[in-house]
Amino acid sequence: MNWRNGLNFGQAKYEVIDRDTFIPYIRSDFRAVIPFEILIDFTEQRRNDLVALLKITDRVSKKSNIRVKKLCRSGESLSFSLEKERNLKDIIVKVLSIKTVQDCVNRMSSNSRENIPTLSILPSHTSNYSFPYQNSKRVTPIFAFELEDAVYCISHFGWKNIIFKKEIMPDELTALAIGLYFAEGGKVTASFTNSSPKIINVMLDFIEQYSNIERDKINARIYCHTRLQNKKKNLEEFWYSQVGISNYGSKLHLSENSRSPCGTLELNFCSQILKNLLCGLIKKAFDDPLTFDPKNIIRGIFSGDGCPIQQTKYFICHHITLDKNYWKSQFDFIDKLISRHGIQLKTVPSNPNKIKDQIRAVIYSNWYTNMYFMFLDPYRFELINREKFARRFLSLEKTRLFLSLEDGCLIKGIDLVNGLRPLISLRNHDFINLVQKSPKPNRKYEVQFSENGLQVRKILQDFLNNVYPKYRKELENFKVLLGKFDLLEKNNRGC
């Protein structure tokens, strides 16, 4: 049987409109055949590994959708499924492109640091585990077509077409999304979890800007403390008012360990392709960190719920909980970003008695690193930690002493040995100079600020007088918002 006869199955039942357009005959199993006279313009061989990009139009409503369809052998013909379009009664199909499976999974390479081609970061296959890729197995190929300013994708066994923009800008939003998904994204499932509406909105803004997934189509689940078990409606109304999500699970997921006064929201994208695109961006940031502004990725990472702050007498430590199986790769990724700001990262066990159970990356800061890190605003989208970090740093003895010093003031030598010992450290860092003005036994020193010291003190005073009050005001406004939904309780640990 020849090629032409094989593809003329049901010829009397379909109608060819143009060299690339036809009215299909839809069989009882919701499959249709591409006519030979159209198919021959796109491929000269009958193959089992062809994928088509089709524009499917409802002739009644005039609405069109572009779909990626796997072509399958149907007897001696090649057909595609229209089951997803089963509710359309009168359709017309335009063939835009036909490629082999291999062409659909081939990916371009790009070193661009301006506009990142989507096909350079989208993996060729979905994986059973997101970044890092060690021991990760390929699951199913991702078929991708580039058309005009968009990339149309579907997985081999998937039913949901995903559309991405052709290029992704390495701007603040993208860098934040990279850090956020690295910290809170699903490692196996296509999900994202956080307790802050601001953070959830950043992730949703990125998804809506670069894909056809809309927030009102995303499903979500709420995790909360048992004390909120009778406030399901309050929680749903709160989250809907803040992020626009309306599809919630039938029940709350309760935990005694939950600390958030508004619960924690888990977004379910229902798209392994989107998850793998985000993982591709993480890999891009890991392989070529100069593409993105590191401070924005850092802000995303430190906005995760697993970033506790611990204070000592002299400085503040910042912890990031790592995956116990892949902590080394995650540590290297964070360290590569943090080190660009001259900040050192170390690892410690979360529980010294169970070192194999959990590992944390820790910024063992001194006072100077704390101050610089605070100016980076790492907790910009995590209101509680943002205010807590600033409050605790401003309460440190060295901070209060540095702000209270006056240029030209006199200090007794005995005070340098006792309560004013931090002045020695300030001198060693070239913030001040101590000039002896009187000899023993009652030595006195004049404090002379260096140019660098005056500049740093001015910045710190401005932070104390103008920036920190905004942090407190923003946190107070959040508490007022919680009160409107009856979610703020006395002695609430989350606030």
| Residue 248: per-residue pLDDT | 94
pLDDT for 424 equals 82
What is the Cα Rg of the chain in Å?
30
CA-closest candidate to residue 51, choices 120, 114, 104, 90? 104
Mean pLDDT, consecutive 10-residue stretches, the chain (495 aa), reads: 44 80 90 87 78 92 91 78 86 93 90 89 85 70 94 84 95 95 84 93 96 93 94 96 94 90 92 91 90 93 78 80 82 89 80 62 84 92 92 92 88 74 84 85 86 94 97 96 88 51
Distance CA(78)–CA(72), nearest Å, equals 5
Domain boundaries, the chain: 3-104, 396-449
Name 348's bridge partners. Answer: 360
Nearest CA to 21 among 35, 2, 10, 6?
35
Percent of all residues in the chain with a pLDDT value above 90, rounded to a whole number: 49
Q: Which long-range contacts (CB under 8 A, 24 or more apart) does 33-38 make?
A: 33/7, 33/9, 33/74, 33/77, 33/78, 33/79, 34/7, 34/71, 34/78, 34/79, 34/80, 34/93, 34/95, 35/7, 35/8, 35/11, 36/3, 36/4, 36/7, 36/8, 38/95
State the fold for domain 3-104: Elongation Factor Tu (Ef-tu); domain 3 (2.40.30)
Q: pTM here?
A: 0.87
pLDDT at 465: 97
Write the pLDDT tens digit of every residue in 429-483.
899 888 888 887 788 888 899 999 999 999 999 999 999 999 999 999 999 999 9
